[in-house]
Structure formats: structure tokens, C-alpha cells
């Protein structure tokens, strides 16, 4: 007799799988391993309404065993439901059974059931395609411009290939004020290159007027930064991208502005009064001053990034509600979506207002949130968040995927990767899971090649990290791992997102070393071809775009999963280890072809026997 009493991920115990739309009837089956259990009650707690319910499960014979079944009706409004079972024993005793097994009532660990608004749909274009993230100043420069007369004290590098500046200035501050001049016209010129990679969406780090090269210190939300070009350049980029089947997603930095912005105007650069000039400014109430003018709320205490009051009516109207609001304006000018910077620090009500404006302005637009954890149960500032319940974001950046994937690729157990990803699949609404922004490096993380190639500890000082390059042996091993990582990224459910230059073999530790200029003419061309091949395969196979996932093996160095749609299936098999492995998998086709090498395998007795070399992978169709 099975020792599994309840498994929320198995249809023998719970249907349907995972998160459910409001009002869904959810069937539970508890399977005791002893006849001494006489009654079973399903105990549920709806967190947002603070409502507890108890559902008596009915006993039924199943062979020689007794099981307990019952139906729980999910609420008509979005909820986060926590549940466990209460067992009543033949000797009159009671106990609880939860995710931690048999426990007392006071210490039981519940399972999670996400109840979401199924009427709010997610655009399908993002999940089906490939996204390319660009740090605009560092991608490609089409035109040389001058930094004279612009907000901030900016400097321009003469050569595209110079190293990034990372050292503090004479006052001990890291100003991020060195620019290379990458621009929107440069991105437009490289659209055909992006098409060759299979790219269908561009995620651009901030493009609005700002004093720093990262532009997260917005100076004017309604102006393109002059070093990037003009509003016409933006419209041209969107139009040319659209003609090639590519959409543009903008970075929305709505939790804070720049201190040197037209709204705060700390240095008096702008002729109109900002909050720093006092209560006469229309923007004064956007900020929270403790002692005017120098003591105010700021993002993580960084005074160059004064935090805004997202509940302020004037601010919400300017950003969201007005006809010419920031959110609406750039959608009308060609953007297809927004990525919300530090979504943890934006109130649910503010995010919901953005979503409502986007649905009204452009119903096929997409809203993505930057959340570093499981976004279905995230607590931020002592509040349980509601990102994925229907009225806020369509999807989130999938940092848990990155964490689990890199751990596996660097020698971890594939079973841990499966467990982490199945937790997300169970907790997220299906549309959110399949539209998750999957990535392996970004502007906020070390470069993929550096992470996977490094054999020892990272250098301790910034000077050492600035000049560090992988040894030839580390580079070769890193490239092998990057290729394997790319297969996982492009074949796993979600939207694969490639950080500019990872396909070219760029190296670098944390910011700003991960933000160097794209090495045009010095790319690792074999790696570029590998990513282009994967982009083409994703475009060709419906199973990779929207197919279900079923794990065939997850243990040690080997991960194998099947993606299947109505008339297409793809089997990914990865060996992240340093030694070859041989395995067998069921296969009911006549022949299996590895799309990465064109090698063919003949099944015998309904099974494929495969041998994978060290750090090797197959994609079988």
C-alpha cells in the first residue's frame, strides 16, 4: 500500500491541478495508510477574507482500502487559500496532516491553493516568443551626440570598446555618469540581427531623460533621453520592429524619480520649480519630506532616488489616469507593454490602476512585474501581494527559474530544479506560469558566462573584478555550460529572455561590469549561431511555445522533460555533469531526431536508449 497520503500535484489526490479560477469545484482525495482513521475533514483558510471552512470528506472503498473524497468550492473572488486535513482516529484522538506530514493543530504547515480571476486574459504573444533585453546605452551607437547642456554631469567615452567606469569620483560617489552613446536608432539598425536570433519582443531598460547611464533616476517621463534620440526615433523603432514581428516593452520606474528630475529638481537644472524648491511646486506632494529640503524618503536610502507617494492623486493621474498619462502615452506611441521596476514597492492599488489603463488603452498590451521570489505568496511591507490574481500583472520576472537553473547547471541536483519549478507551476495561474519572463542573467546579475565558467571564488575587490577574465579552460567550460543553459531556457515553459551580449560570449560580474558595450565584430560567432538555432526551433515548434510539461527524469546531473501540444512534442534531455551518462526513455514514434545536431535515434521496444556526454544536451522531436 502506498505511503503517500496526499500529493497536491497528483490527480489521484487533487483535481484540477494547481491554481484555479474563481468558483471552481476542487476535488480532494485523502488516502490514509491505516484503517484507524475514521473521519477526514478538509480545513481551509481564505487569507484575504479571513474565512475558515471545514469540509467533511466522504469515506469510500477503493479495493481493500478506504479513501476520503470531497469537493471544495473556491470563492467567487480572488483568494489565497491555505488548507490541511484534520484526522479523527478510532481511539478518539485527533491530528492534523499538512505539507509537513502528521502535525499538531498548532504547528501544521498548510498547502497553498491560489484562486484567481479567470476572466482577465493574458496576451499570448509574449509566451510564444523570444525576448531580448537591451541596456540602451551599451547596445549600438548609430549617431555621435554631445552631452553638453543635458541634465546631470555626463561624460561620453570616445571609444566604444573602452571599459566601463566603476570607480567613485573625487567626492567618493559612484555617479554612473559615463555614457557610450548607444541609441534608439542603433537598435533600429540592428533589428535584422535580432530577427536572426528569433526575437519577437524587446525589453528596454529605461529610455527616458535621466542623469545616469542606467536611467533609473528618471528626470522626465515624457521625454526620450536626448542621448538616445527623439520621440520620432522611438516611433520609428516601434514601427520597424512591428514590421518584423517584434514588440517593444518599456521599463516603468514608478516607485521613485531622480533627484535631478523636473519633478524634484534638487540642483535647479530645470527652470520650473520642483519639490526641492518648496510647496509652490505642483510636484511637492509627490514626495515625503521629514525635514525640508534635505531629509526625504528615498529608494533604499539613495538620495539621488527620492521615493514618490504612489497614492497621491496628482501622481496617479500624471502616471496612469490622465488621457496623456505616462503609461497611456507611450503605448499610443508604439510600446506593447511595461515592465514594472521594483514591483514589490508599488501598492497593489497602483499596479491595478496601471493594468486597467493598459487594458483600456491597448487590450493586447502586457504588464510584467519585477519580483525576485514566488510572486503568488510574496509578502512586501507586511502585506500579502496580489500580483497574479487577475487585476494586476500578467506575469513576473522569473528569478526562481534563474536560481534553480544555475544551481543545477553548476553541479546541483536536477530533482531540486524540478521541485522548485513544480512549486511555481502549482502556485501560479497557468497563464502566469507559461508567460513568466525566464532569464539567466540581466542588468542586475552577473553575466551568465562568468557565473558558469568561474572555477573558484570571485575576486574580492572591484578593481580585480573589473579586469577579470575567465582563463581559456574556464571559458571553454563556460561556453559548454552556456549552450546547455540556453537549451533549458528556450525549451522550458515561459518566455525565454536573452540579455544582450550573452549570445556573444560577454563576461562580467555585477553592475557595472555586466553592462559593457556589445562587442560588435568580436562576438563568439559559434555561440551566436547556437542561440539563433534555438530561436528558430522555438518558432517552429508549438510544443515549445505553449505545450504542457511532463518530467521524465530529474535526478543527479540529468534533467529530462517532455513538452507537448495538440500535434507536436519535444523531449529535452540534459546532462549537466562532468561525466557521460546513458539512459532510456519511452518513445512511441518510429524515429527520434535531435534538432540540435540532426542525429537520429531508432527506438527499440518503445524506448530510446541515449548516451549524453559531459555537459551535453539533446532536443528530440
pLDDT per residue as tens digits for the range 179-188: 999 999 999 9
Task: Please write the tens of the pLDDT for every residue from 528-543.
Answer: 999 999 999 999 999 9
For all residues of the chain together, what is the average pLDDT?
97
Contact 336, 248 (CB under 8 A): yes
How confident is residue 353, by pLDDT bands cut at 50, 70 and 90? Answer: very high
Report percent pLDDT > 90 for the chain: 97
At 230, list the grid cell. 527623439
Strand partners, 428: none
Contact 74, 115 (CB under 8 A): yes
CA distance 390 to 556: 37
The closest of 397, 574, 425, 417 to 495, measured between CA atoms, is 397
> What was the pLDDT predicted at 589?
82
> What was the pLDDT predicted at 457?
94
> What was the pLDDT predicted at 1?
39
CA distance 417 to 403: 9
Q: Is the pTM of this model over 0.85?
A: yes
What is the average pLDDT across 126-147?
98
Neighbours of 324 (CB within 10 A): 9
Asked whether the predicted pLDDT for residue 474 surpasses 70, the reply is yes
Which residues fall within 8 angstroms of residue 171, CB to CB, at 6 or more apart? none
Task: Please write the tens of the pLDDT for every residue from 231-257.
Answer: 999 999 999 999 999 999 999 999 999
Task: Please write the tens of the pLDDT for every residue from 455-471.
Answer: 999 999 999 999 999 99
Asked whether the predicted pLDDT for residue 506 surpasses 80, the reply is yes
Which residues fall within 8 angstroms of residue 302, CB to CB, at 6 or more apart? none
When mean pLDDT is compared across 400-404, 411-415, 514-518, 590-594, the lowest value belongs to 590-594
Alpha helices in 267-333 (DSSP H): 313-316, 326-332
Between 512 and 170, the more confident residue is 512
> What was the pLDDT predicted at 3?
77
How confident is residue 106, by pLDDT bands cut at 50, 70 and 90? Answer: confident
Q: Where are the beta strands (DSSP E) in 354-420?
A: 366-369, 379-380, 383-384, 395-398
Asked whether the predicted pLDDT for residue 382 surpasses 70, the reply is yes
In the three-class reduction of DSSP (H, G, I as helix; E, B as strand; rest coil), residue 185 is classed as helix
> What was the pLDDT predicted at 303?
95
> What was the pLDDT predicted at 105?
86
**Helices 399-409 + 414-427 axis angle, to 10:** 170
Asked whether the predicted pLDDT for residue 194 surpasses 80, the reply is yes
Phi first, then psi, for residue 246 (nearest 5°) are: -115, 135
Which residues fall within 8 angstroms of residue 478, CB to CB, at 6 or more apart? 449, 450, 452, 453, 454, 470
Amino acid at each position: 500500500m502506498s505511503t503517500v497520503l496526499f500529493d497536491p500535484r497528483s490527480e489521484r489526490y487533487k483535481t484540477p491541478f494547481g491554481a484555479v479560477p474563481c468558483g471552481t469545484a476542487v476535488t480532494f482525495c485523502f488516502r490514509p495508510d491505516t484503517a484507524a482513521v475514521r473521519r477526514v475533514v478538509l480545513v481551509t483558510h481564505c487569507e484575504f477574507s479571513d474565512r475558515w471552512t471545514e469540509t467533511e470528506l466522504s469515506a469510500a472503498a477503493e479495493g481493500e482500502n478506504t479513501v476520503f473524497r470531497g469537493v471544495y468550492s473556491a470563492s467567487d473572488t480572488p483568494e489565497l487559500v491555505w488548507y490541511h486535513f484534520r484526522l479523527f482516529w478510532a481511539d478518539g484522538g485527533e491530528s492534523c496532516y499538512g505539507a509537513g506530514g502528521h502535525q499538531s493543530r498548532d504547528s501544521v504547515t498548510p498547502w497553498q491553493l491560489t484562486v484567481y480571476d479567470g476572466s482577465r486574459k493574458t496576451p499570448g504573444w509574449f509566451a510564444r516568443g523570444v525576448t531580448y533585453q537591451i541596456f540602451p546605452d551599451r547596445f549600438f551607437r548609430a549617431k555621435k551626440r554631445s552631452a553638453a547642456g543635458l541634465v546631470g554631469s555626463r561624460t561620453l567615452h570616445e571609444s566604444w570598446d573602452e571599459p566601463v567606469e566603476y570607480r567613485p569620483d573625487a567626492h567618493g560617489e559612484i555617479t554612473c555618469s559615463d555614457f557610450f552613446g548607444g541609441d534608439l536608432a542603433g537598435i533600429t539598425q540592428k533589428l535584422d540581427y535580432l530577427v536572426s536570433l528569433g526575437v519577437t519582443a524587446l525589453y528596454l531598460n529605461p529610455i527616458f531623460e535621466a542623469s545616469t547611464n542606467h536611467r533609473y533616476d528618471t528626470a522626465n517621463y515624457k521625454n526620450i533621453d536626448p542621448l538616445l534620440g527623439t520621440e520620432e526615433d522611438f516611433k520609428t523603432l516601434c514601427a520597424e520592429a512591428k514590421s518584423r514581428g517584434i514588440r517593444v516593452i518599456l521599463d516603468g520606474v514608478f516607485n521613485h524619480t531622480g533627484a535631478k528630475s523636473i519633478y524634484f529638481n534638487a540642483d535647479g537644472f530645470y527652470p520650473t520649480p520642483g519639490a526641492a524648491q518648496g510647496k509652490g511646486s505642483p510636484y511637492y506632494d509627490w514626495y515625503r519630506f521629514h525635514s525640508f529640503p534635505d531629509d526625504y524618503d528615498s529608494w533604499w536610502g539613495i538620495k539621488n532616488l527620492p521615493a514618490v507617494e504612489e497614492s497621491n492623486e496628482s501622481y496617479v493621474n500624471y502616471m496612469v489616469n490622465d488621457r496623456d498619462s505616462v503609461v497611456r502615452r507611450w503605448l499610443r506611441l508604439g510600446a506593447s507593454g511595461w515592465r514594472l521596476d521594483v514591483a514589490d514597492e508599488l501598492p497593489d492599488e497602483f499596479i491595478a490602476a496601471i493594468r486597467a489603463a493598459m487594458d483600456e488603452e491597448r487590450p493586447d498590451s502586457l504588464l510584467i512585474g519585477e519580483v525576485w521570489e514566488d510572486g503568488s505568496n510574496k509578502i512586501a511591507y507586511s502585506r500579502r501581494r496580489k500580483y497574479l490574481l487577475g487585476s494586476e500583472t500578467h506575469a513576473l520576472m522569473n528569478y526562481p527559474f534563474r536560481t534553480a537553473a544555475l544551481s543545477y547547471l553548476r553541479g546541483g541536483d536536477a530533482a531540486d530544479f524540478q521541485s522548485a519549478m513544480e512549486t511555481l507551476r502549482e502556485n501560479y495561474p497557468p497563464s502566469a506560469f507559461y508567460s513568466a519572463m525566464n532569464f539567466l542573467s540581466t542588468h542586475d546579475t552577473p553575466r551568465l558566462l562568468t557565473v558558469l565558467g568561474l572555477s573558484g571564488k570571485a575576486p574580492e575587490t572591484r578593481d580585480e573584478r573589473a579586469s577579470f577574465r575567465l582563463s581559456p579552460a574556464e571559458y571553454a567550460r563556460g561556453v559548454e555550460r552556456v549552450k546547455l543553459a540556453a537549451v533549458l531556457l528556450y525549451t522550458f515553459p515561459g518566455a525565454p529572455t536573452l540579455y544582450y551580449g550573452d549570445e556573444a560570449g560577454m563576461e562580467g560580474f555585477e553592475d557595472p561590469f555586466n553592462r559593457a558595450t556589445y562587442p560588435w565584430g568580436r562576438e563568439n560567432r559559434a555561440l551566436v549561431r547556437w542561440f539563433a538555432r534555438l530561436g528558430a526551433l522555438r518558432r517552429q515548434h508549438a510544443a515549445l511555445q505553449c505545450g504542457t510539461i511532463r518530467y521524465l527524469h530529474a535526478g543527479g546531473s540529468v534533467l529530462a522533460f517532455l513538452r507537448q501540444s495538440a500535434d507536436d512534442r519535444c523531449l529535452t534531455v540534459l546532462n549537466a555533469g562532468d561525466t557521460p551518462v546513458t539512459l532510456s526513455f519511452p518513445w512511441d514514434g518510429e524515429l527520434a531526431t535531435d534538432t540540435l545536431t540532426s542525429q537520429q535515434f531508432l527506438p527499440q521496444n518503445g524506448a530510446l536508449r541515449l548516451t549524453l556526454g559531459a555537459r551535453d544536451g539533446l532536443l528530440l522531436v
